Structure 1
Amino acid sequence: MTTLKRLCAALLVSVAATTASAQDAAIGTWQTEVDDGAFGYVAMTQCGAAVCGTIQQTYNADGTPLASENIGRQIVINMAPAGDGTYAGQVYRPSNGKTYNGKMQVEGNALRLQGCVAGGLLCASQNWARVQ
């Protein structure tokens, strides 16, 4: 293999790794904020070109396990990455059964999730912490 071919191959591997890590910033397990007396662990996974999040475990605010009908429910829906740590899609709020236009931003082990109405004029947000 010539030096030029090796350099090109190394460059392609480097670009692919950088692109994958930028797109996968949200992948992992995240702890939600307490909402209506409970919090959960949400597994964020690839769903096509987007990211989706499903409730894996739920807990009372004091940390004791909570059996919930929402375990297994997808609450982060088709969050499409913009490539800069921000995402746009939908979020479902189990406590009121409503789906909202959603925004998400990931910075390291912190994730800020927003659900918005009125064209994004009114938003509620939560800050989540990475568990895994």
Structure 2
Amino acid sequence: MLKTFAMAAALLMSATVSQAAEPIEGNWKTQSGSTAEIGKCGSAYCVTLRTGKHAGKQIGLMSGTGAEYSGEITDPDTDKTYAGSGSVTGNTLKTKGCVLKVLCKSQTWTRL
């Protein structure tokens, strides 16, 4: 009985590890000081502001795995949407939004 329980526990732990969150998921402090939450939504990751004057507003949709993500990012002040990307290194997320892949603006966010 104990052996069966140990095997079941080991299987549950391995299933949990395989379903671990992507590095981009979590809460991030933006360059402006707001908190952005990035979480799974469908087959992508939604970026939603949780604090600040635009709290509750979805400002991005990214796809990818590991450390590199791409999609769209919206400037909440102007409501303009740009081609976006994000690169995760430890507790740092470097975001970039570009117009025509030429005019780009970058920010660095920190994991909370």
TM-score range, shorter-chain basis?
Answer: 0.7 to 0.9
TM-superposed deviation, 1:130? 0.5
CA distance in 1, matches of 2:50, 2:84: 20
2:41 matched residue in structure 1: 47
**Residue equivalent to 2:3:** none
State the distance in 2 between where 1:29 and 1:104 align.
14
Task: Could you tell me which runs of 5 or more consecutive residues in structure 2 were left unpaired when the two chains were aligned.
Answer: 1-6
Shift of 1:108: 1.2
- Please name the residue that 2:31 is paired with: 33
3-state DSSP class of the match of 2:31? coil
User: By how many angstroms is 1:94 displaced?
Assistant: 1.1
What amino acid is aligned across from residue 111 of structure 2 in structure 1? Answer: R
Given that 2:23 and 2:66 are in contact with CA atoms closer than 8 Å, whether structure 1 keeps it comes out as no
Across the two proteins, how many residue pairs are aligned to each other? 102
Query: In structure 1, what is the Cα distance between the partners aligned to 2:85 and 2:51?
Result: 23
CA-based RMSD: 2.0
Structure 1 unaligned residues grouped into runs of 5+: 1-5, 59-67
Deviation beyond 6 Å, 4+ runs, structure 1:
none
The structural deviation recorded for 1:84 is 3.5
TM-score, normalising length: structure 2: 0.80
Query: Which residue identity does 2:17 align to in structure 1?
Result: A
